[in-house]
């Protein structure tokens, strides 16, 4: 619960467990009219009264397929079960399914097994961890010192707790906007990572939460959009009353002051706070400037929040947004499917900014479940007639290697959250990819050598450290079972006949006492394959 004093007779009280109450006689009418999207009643079920998922999924597919037909293309077929399982695990949990998961899923003949799998993943601890990692990477700037990942652990844990609770998206945004306290952990780290500078916070929050690239208007009017320099600094004014930053991050706290203004550059003109797209300054009588911004973010007066959120969710699952790049929803960068983006934003708002519901809806579509195989003629990426192939980020790659090889850190029989594992931190730091485009594979020679010969791969193929290699050496396993298990662990599928023959020939070419080393060589080849590093 967060209390914000608005005046001597009123205060803004926010309870982030599906309840948002505005306790002030002066504001209640306006808030109920403009921010009903942030109001939840206690005792209500987390989902809407009627299940909207199937209907919305059908609408999505209808709009996608209508555009494909209009352009003269036929969509790809639906993907095979093993492809879907691997894809949805990587997208929702950030890691490969286990061998047991793959065997059970492929053996299951239930017509709704994909739906059941998705529901299980969305309520799993791995989903919360994966979403927390994704958001942490978005919220912290690229310039954030990779050696400061220990500080990011507090933000990671806080985010993970929010996704465990399925905190509404508008409330999650509000938590960031009104964060106070220790600047080295939790959502307050967002402010200190940007040095608490109003111009940096304005540019970042507009891009992340609104999908607006207003930073181009910091020094002059935007060259290709309607944002003016005054617009930029009026938005930056919402962050101008934070305390002055101290040296370094040690003992730095995020605190609002009662004063602090921004000046239009090269002038002495004070610019008051004003919401993007508005011509009227914000009323400073009620609450801090940041709390005013948080209220506006979730109100119907804000046309940007829901559009940016659903575009981001679409990009996470499909490899690119309906608007691309995902954080540039400016007027000169139209959506590939404008009506679809509009309907998704409305759907998200009507369902109370439920993030799990949005993810569940998108993965239930035929568009998400289509094959990634190339068609003839090739369907342009922006039409979404097939699934785009995505690269694994550094965290996914590490987690997939350790899961496949059985080198995950285990304590008391439980796989631990790997975020602060020293080997993982080192790997993520070295492999950190500078592009946010999941469809662009950018790897240099150092990265390739790290995959081929790094300590992670050495551990994965070491009989002393790899539970997979040790297990496959058991005498009751046949070579056929060993080969199948290697492919199920790494590719989430059974090997084809050619692959079986090639691996069997490799095993037959060495003495029995060298079989374990030969199995390790096969695992090394699979872990370094293009198929392993891609989400298709």
pLDDT digits (tens, 9 = 90+) for 144-183: 766 566 678 889 999 999 999 999 999 999 999 999 998 8
Instruction: Kindly state the tokens that stand for 46.
Output: 């987390």
- Which residue is listed with tokens 């030969």? 518
Q: Do 390 and 438 form a contact (C-beta atoms < 8 A)?
A: yes
Q: Do 245 and 192 form a contact (C-beta atoms < 8 A)?
A: yes
Asked if residue 30 has pLDDT above 50, the reply is: no
Residue 108, helix vs strand vs coil: coil
Q: Which residue has the higher pLDDT, 439 or 180?
A: 180
- Burial of 230 by CB count in 10 Å (0-12 exposed, 13-18 middle, 19+ buried)? middle
Residue 430 DSSP class? H
As a whole number of angstroms, the distance between CA 399 and CA 395 comes to: 6
Which regions of the chain carry the CATH code 1.10.3130? 396-535
Asked if residue 311 has pLDDT above 50, the reply is: yes
Instruction: Kindly indicate the confidence band of residue 246, based on its pLDDT and cuts at 50, 70 and 90.
Output: low
Asked if residue 465 has pLDDT above 80, the reply is: yes
pLDDT of residue 456: 86
Q: Please say whether the dihedral angle defined by the alpha carbons of residues 107, 112, 114 and 116, taken in this order, is positive or negative.
A: negative
As a whole number of angstroms, the distance between CA 315 and CA 436 comes to: 11
- Which of 11-20, 113-122, 373-382, 406-415 shows the lowest mean pLDDT across its residues? 11-20
CA distances for 148 relative to 181, 194, 420, angstroms: 18, 14, 11
- Digit-coded pLDDT (tens) for 67-125: 999 999 999 999 999 999 999 999 999 999 999 999 999 999 999 999 999 999 999 99
As a whole number of angstroms, the distance between CA 394 and CA 500 comes to: 30
Asked if residue 434 has pLDDT above 90, the reply is: no
The interaxial angle of helices 515-527 and 394-405, nearest 10 deg, is 160
- Which of 20-34, 224-238, 303-317 shows the lowest mean pLDDT across its residues? 20-34
As a whole number of angstroms, the distance between CA 196 and CA 242 comes to: 7
Q: Which residue has the higher pLDDT, 227 or 187?
A: 187
As a whole number of angstroms, the distance between CA 305 and CA 353 comes to: 10
Q: Do 372 and 388 form a contact (C-beta atoms < 8 A)?
A: yes
pLDDT of residue 37: 37
Task: Tell me the fold of 396-535.
Answer: 1.10.3130
The pTM of this model reads 0.87
Residues 6 or more apart whose CB falls under 8 angstroms from that of 259 comprise 241
Q: Do 64 and 362 form a contact (C-beta atoms < 8 A)?
A: no
CA distances for 251 relative to 142, 193, 241, 285, 508, angstroms: 23, 14, 19, 31, 63
Q: Which residue has the higher pLDDT, 184 or 500?
A: 500
Q: Do 515 and 507 form a contact (C-beta atoms < 8 A)?
A: yes
As a whole number of angstroms, the distance between CA 420 and CA 422 comes to: 6
Query: Left (φ > 0), alpha (ψ -120 to 50) or beta: where does 18 sit?
Result: left
Q: Across the chain, what does the average pLDDT equal?
A: 84
Instruction: Kindly indicate the confidence band of residue 10, based on its pLDDT and cuts at 50, 70 and 90.
Output: very low
As a whole number of angstroms, the distance between CA 367 and CA 57 comes to: 9
- Which of 46-55, 91-100, 481-490, 497-506 shows the lowest mean pLDDT across its residues? 46-55
Q: Do 387 and 536 form a contact (C-beta atoms < 8 A)?
A: yes
pLDDT of residue 39: 36
Cα torsion 9, 10, 11, 17 to 10°: value is 130
Please report how many Cα atoms fall inside a 13 Å half-sphere around the Cα of residue 72, on the Cβ side: 3
Instruction: Kindly state the tokens that stand for 296.
Output: 């506006």
**What percent of the chain clears pLDDT 70, i.e. is strictly above it?**
80
Instruction: Kindly indicate the confidence band of residue 221, based on its pLDDT and cuts at 50, 70 and 90.
Output: low
Q: Read out DSSP for 258-319?
A: S---EE-TTS--EE----TT-SS---TTSS-HHHHHHHHHTSTT-SSHHHHHHHHHHHHHHS
- Which of 92-106, 255-269, 399-413, 431-445 shows the lowest mean pLDDT across its residues? 431-445
Query: What are the two backbone dihedrals, phi and then psi, of residue 464, each rounded to the nearest 5 degrees?
Result: -75, -25
């Amino acid at each position: 619960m967060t209390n914000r004093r608005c005046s001597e007779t009123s205060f803004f009280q926010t309870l982030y467990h599906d309840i948002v109450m505005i306790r002030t006689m002066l504001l209640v009418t306006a808030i109920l009219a403009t921010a009903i999207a942030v109001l939840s009643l206690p005792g209500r079920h987390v989902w809407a009264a009627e299940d909207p998922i199937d209907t919305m999924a059908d609408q999505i597919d209808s709009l996608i397929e209508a555009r494909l037909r209009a352009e003269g293309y036929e969509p790809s077929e639906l993907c095979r079960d093993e492809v879907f399982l691997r894809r949805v695990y990587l997208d929702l949990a950030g890691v490969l399914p286990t061998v047991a998961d793959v065997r059970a899923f492929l053996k299951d003949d239930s017509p709704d097994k994909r739906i059941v799998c998705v529901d299980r993943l969305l309520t799993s601890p791995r989903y919360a961890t994966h979403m927390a990692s994704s958001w942490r990477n978005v919220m912290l700037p690229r310039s954030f010192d990779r050696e400061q990942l220990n500080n990011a652990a507090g933000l990671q844990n806080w985010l993970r707790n929010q996704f465990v609770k399925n905190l509404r998206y508008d409330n999650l945004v509000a938590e960031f906007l009104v964060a106070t306290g220790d600047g080295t952990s939790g959502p307050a780290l967002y402010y200190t990572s940007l040095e608490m500078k109003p111009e940096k916070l304005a540019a970042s929050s507009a891009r992340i939460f609104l999908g607006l690239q207003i930073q181009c208007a910091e020094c002059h009017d935007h060259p290709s959009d309607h944002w003016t320099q005054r617009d930029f600094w009026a938005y930056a004014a919402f962050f101008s009353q934070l305390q002055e930053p101290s040296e370094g991050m040690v003992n730095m706290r995020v605190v609002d002051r009662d004063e602090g203004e921004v000046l239009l550059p090269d002038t002495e003109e004070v610019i008051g706070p004003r919401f993007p797209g508005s011509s009227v300054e914000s009323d400073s009588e009620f609450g801090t400037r940041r709390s005013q911004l948080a209220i506006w973010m979730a109100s119907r007066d804000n046309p940007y929040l829901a559009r940016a959120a659903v575009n981001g969710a679409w990009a996470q699952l499909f490899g690119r947004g309906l608007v691309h790049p995902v954080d540039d929803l400016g007027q000169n960068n139209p959506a590939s499917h404008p009506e679809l983006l509009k309907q998704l934003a409305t759907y998200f708002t009507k369902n109370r900014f439920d993030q799990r519901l949005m993810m569940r809806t998108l993965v239930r579509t035929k568009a998400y479940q289509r094959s990634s195989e190339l068609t003839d003629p090739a369907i342009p990426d922006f039409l979404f007639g097939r699934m785009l192939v995505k690269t694994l980020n550094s965290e996914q790659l590490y987690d997939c290697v350790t899961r496949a090889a059985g080198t995950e850190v285990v304590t008391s029989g439980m796989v631990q959250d790997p975020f602060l594992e020293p080997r993982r931190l080192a790997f993520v730091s070295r492999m950190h990819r500078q592009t946010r485009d999941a469809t662009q594979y950018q790897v240099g020679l150092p990265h390739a050598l790290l995959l081929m010969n790094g300590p992670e791969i050495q551990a994965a193929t070491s009989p002393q450290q790899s539970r997979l290699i040790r297990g496959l050496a058991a005498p009751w396993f046949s070579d056929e079972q060993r080969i199948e298990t290697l492919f199920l662990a790494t590719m989430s599928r059974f090997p084809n006949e050619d692959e079986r023959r090639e691996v069997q020939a490799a095993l037959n070419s060495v003495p029995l006492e060298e079989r374990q080393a030969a199995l390790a060589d096969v695992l090394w080849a699979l872990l370094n394959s293009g198929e392993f590093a891609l989400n298709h």
